[in-house]
Amino acid sequence: MTVGSVPRAGLVRRVRVALTPREWARVGGLAAAILALHVIGWGTLLFVVPHHFGLGSQGAFGVGLGVTAYILGMRHAFDADHIAAIDNTTRKLISDGGRPLSVG
């Protein structure tokens, strides 16, 4: 199987050797932090908010509002100005000889 013009095994090998073990640890730490924040946020939303927070007799603050806020936040994260800032920072770090592992 190929991806583009690179065989799949060759692509996996190139990705694996592209980073040093210390950089892989850094990437793993970033992924773990992002996962932990999502678990904490969704856990709070699903298990705490419905039982302890309510506005008015209808309980206006609930899971639906939390999901809406999450979706709008994700949409905001991919706005053009954010993507441009990440791209500019990445290009600057590469031109200075840096490795932009945690940009964005």
Average pLDDT score over residue span 44-60: 68
d(Cα 101, Cα 18) in Å, to the nearest integer?
A: 12
- 48 domain residue, yes or no: yes
> For residues 51 and 59, is the Cβ–Cβ distance under 8 A?
no
Q: Which residue has the higher pLDDT, 74 or 12?
A: 74
Residue 60 pLDDT > 90: no
- 103 domain residue, yes or no: no
Beta bridge mates, 7:
2
Whole-model pTM: value is 0.67
Q: Residue 6: CA atoms inside 13 Å, Cβ hemisphere, count?
A: 8
d(Cα 24, Cα 17) in Å, to the nearest integer?
A: 10
**% of residues, the chain, pLDDT over 90:** 33
- 100 domain residue, yes or no: no
Provide the domain count of the chain.
1
- Domain containing residue 91: 2-95
> Buried b / exposed e across 6-15, counting CB within 10 Å, b at 16+?
eeeeeeeeee
